[in-house]
A and B are shown apart, each in its own frame.
Chain A
Amino acid sequence: MMALRAWGGVVLALVAVALEAGTWPSPRVSLAFALGAMVGVGRWSSLLLGLLALITVVLPGSPVEADPQGWAGLVLTGLGLGLLSRSVEPGLVAMLSTDRRRATATWFSLLAVALVFLPDGHVALFDPAGALMSFSVVVEDAVTGVRGIQELPAYLASPHPAGSLLSWVLLLGPLTAFLLLAQGVAPRSDLARAGWMSARLTGGLLVLSALWGLGELLSGAIVVPSAAELGETLSELAGGRASITAVTTPDGGSLSLASRPRVDWIRLAVGALLLVCPSLPPLSTPDDGPSDHWLSLSLALAVASCFLLGPAPCAWTIAGAVVCGSAALMHGTLRVGRDRWFDDLQLLTLALWAAALIAPAAGWLGRL
């Protein structure tokens, strides 16, 4: 466990950087997380950032422009995440401590419900060289009759194979949260047992559905629809404003782990945590005491990166993270000591900051 805490994050970050080696010209999300993992070395939060770096390798998009401002914003974000992870470490460990495990499981069961709604109904097809495929269509405007040939990226409708399992999570997630909250109001051993069993079941379903989805992507097989079917689907998506006829189809394309926007990895992580949360051993953390100066330093970097990234959508969420972090800082400085609000607000800041990078790059914000 000690070695995992000490070096796990750095090793995962280095693996992520090695995997991203071919995509240097564009600012990748995983590089920011890898940088964060290296800055926060020796902590569990570094391992978390390393995992995020690995999960976000070869995401289809990038949250920032590939210009000097975008690069600078991404580097500052990575440094800021690393510094914040140093500050957030005691809160992260406390979250998984025995006395706060129930609250953590409650939040994660609600998060599991939110994860069901992430977009997972489309897959991207890649050619043997690993590049996103495209196909040609003829688009004809229904009103003016103007026609033109367009190249479209090969995103095909493909419902998640574990859709039925995920619908059970919608039921079990709120039930778990209710049982765990009820246990807090009226402590009863049978309620506690039912709550933890429900949490394990929710986590198990999430893990199973994620593995099923990833297995489908790893198998690489997909039935590409014919040109006629493709044109029909696209015309329906155009809502009658244009007639679309497919000229070519993305033949020879296959699925890869990058085909779905990283939804299954997040489900796997959250599900695994729910599964092991009741029986997790107590975690230790390096006793380097309160480190609120890391929080304020990371907030300064967040303000700078927000300013650099400017109109990019992720800047709004980073601004939200700055607000949460400022409230945490006020708690830390005015109450002089860690309290529950201080830890939770810092964790929320980290979560928002990470989501600001992942969501636009993974395509969670757009509609394919």
Chain B
Amino acid sequence: MTSEDTERQTPEPQDSPTDWVQLAWSALSSNALLSAIAVAFAIVLCAGSAIPQGATYEELLRIYPYAVARAMQSLGLHDLWSSWFLWLFALLFSLNALGAFLRAGARIEEGRWDVEQTPTGNTEELVKRISSTLGDRAPRSRGGVLVWTTGVRREAIGLILLGIVSVAASTVVGRNLGANARLELQTGVQDDTAVLRSLRWDSGGWVQARPPVSVRCDRADPQDPLRRRRCAVGGVEEPVSLRAGKVTRAGDIELRPLAERPRIGGGDPELLVRRGDARAKLLRAKHGTTYELDDGTRLTAYSGPDGPIAVVRPEGDGPAALYVPSGEGQGAESALHLAGVPGVSLEVGLARRPERVLTLCGALFLLIGFLLMALVPDLTVALSPRAEGSLVRARSWNRQDLAERWAASLNPSEAPAETDAEVSS
């Protein structure tokens, strides 16, 4: 039998599933991996400052070369909030942090201790003394070591992780249940043709899509400097009033007027009618309908190709006159002044953000978690029973002298300088 045959016959070592689980556990609870994930996560987040968020592909092309803009669009770097980067990194970070936390709890012996001493007395006496100095707390046993903990470190870390998970979950919720759309509406139209153009943000940019809810808006009073208008949104019974530059809520929908553009033709005619020096009144007419004004003048309004047209008949049997009012107004008679109101289309930003509650909760959890970690002093005491005398160790990660002061209170007869305290620098 040659050595080659022997090699063939020797079975290759097989990794058992336990090894893989062990490997995965080691990786997921590694502090070094946690740091690496954090750095990569931070780099991705910093890209949000450099790359304009929510920018369209055209806007990216104006700033960056073609290849760079394409790469950004493909990776979703211009919409980090709904990109897979964010929740993937957040998930990895949370899992790794949880693993590191559980591992640290299981290996209480690891790490640096602020105080190590071997006080006099047997183990039972020491347990009683330690418990009494810590407000009669009961110890927990971990691998033969009795451990007392004060403070809220565990709860605080739990809250911080919960906060990160909440923020990550909010991006998924926003992506699947939220809506971000832009509608161009023909104002004053009360049917489905009111929507001229509908765009939806799909992480890659604005794409043509059906509007997520039906929206119809009235025309604004041309004399109103705030450009207020009434709108009916989806299933909301009560119409809402939109105002230029302001965000208005209709149920769970946020509406923001974005732009107003002149539109030739379309919709019913509107005329500003002014008599003498009186304030002009807006006449919202129906195409082909005749209206009688206060002084008996009859006015029939039509929708012309370039704006409204009016036929004015003076009181009595005077001759009718056709008027094509310009934007600046035209005198129909000596006292009557008509001005056409041109049709406008209104661009409205429409957003539904069901993830906002989760984001707020996430921020709140993070805030409370960090504050708890900072403000509540933490102390861990471990008692290792030994034949030659029990070893008592204490440490605090957020208060320098807490472990020393506690050790002094454990041995009131001994001065702190005489203890074998080892204070970490």
Contacts and interface: CB of A to CB of B under 8 A. Distances in A.
Interface in B51-107: 52-53, 63, 80, 93, 97, 100-101, 103-104
Contact of B398 (A296, A306, A334, A367): A296
Interface string B102-144: 0110000011110000000000000000000000000000000
A178 B371 CA distance: 43
B345 to A, nearest CB: 18
B46 A331 contact: no
Interface string A163-186: 000000000000000000000000
Given A289-B400, A323-B38, A296 B373 contact: yes
Interface in B12-66: 31-32, 34-35, 37-39, 41-50, 52-53, 63
B49 A314 contact: yes
Contact of A367 (B47, B63, B425): B63
Contacts of B31: 330-331, 334-335, 341
A10 interface: no
B231 interface: no
B110 A335 contact: yes
A326 B35 CA distance: 9
Interface stretch (B1-9, B308-316, B362-370): B362-370
A333 B425 contact: no
Nearest to A287: B425
A61 to B, nearest CB: 13
Given A317-B46, A317-B49, A335-B31, A300 B397 contact: no
Interface in A351-368: 352, 355-356, 359-360, 365, 367
A248 to B, nearest CB: 26
Contacts of A345: 35, 38-39
Contacts of A292: 373, 397-398
B375 interface: yes
Contacts of A338: 424
Mostly, the B contact residues are helix
Contacts of A223: none
Interface string B140-174: 00000000000001000100100010000000000
A107 B164 CA distance: 30
A333 B363 contact: no
B200 interface: no
Interface residues of A, number: 51
Contact of A293 (B34, B43, B375, B380): B375
B395 interface: yes
Nearest to B97: A330
B363 A352 contact: no
Contact of A303 (B47, B111, B366, B380): B366
A297 B49 contact: no
A303 B48 CA distance: 16
Consensus secondary structure, chain A interface:
helix
A16 interface: no
A324 interface: yes
Nearest to A313: B49
Nearest to A360: B49
A321 B45 CA distance: 9
B423 interface: yes
B151 to A, nearest CB: 10
B374 interface: yes
A117 interface: no
Contacts of A307: 363
Contacts of A359: 49-50
Given A291-B400, A293-B374, A303-B370, A330 B45 contact: no
Contacts of B46: 316-317, 320, 352, 355
A323 B41 contact: yes
A319 interface: yes
A288 interface: yes
B400 A324 contact: no
A299 interface: yes
B112 A296 contact: no
A360 B63 CA distance: 16
Contacts of B80: 316
A304 interface: yes
Contacts of B370: 296-297, 299-300, 303, 329
B281 interface: no
B400 A365 contact: no
Contacts of A303: 363, 366-367, 370
B371 A321 contact: no
17 contacts: A289-B400, A290-B397, A290-B398, A296-B374, A303-B367, A307-B363, A326-B38, A327-B37, A327-B38, A330-B101, A333-B397, A334-B104, A335-B31, A336-B395, A352-B46, A359-B49, A367-B63
Interface of A: 287-294, 296-297, 299-300, 303-304, 306-307, 311, 313-317, 319-324, 326-327, 329-338, 341, 344-345, 348, 352, 355-356, 359-360, 365, 367
Closest 8 pairs between A and B when the two form their complex, measured CB to CB: A316-B48, A289-B400, A327-B38, A337-B112, A320-B42, A320-B45, A300-B370, A336-B111
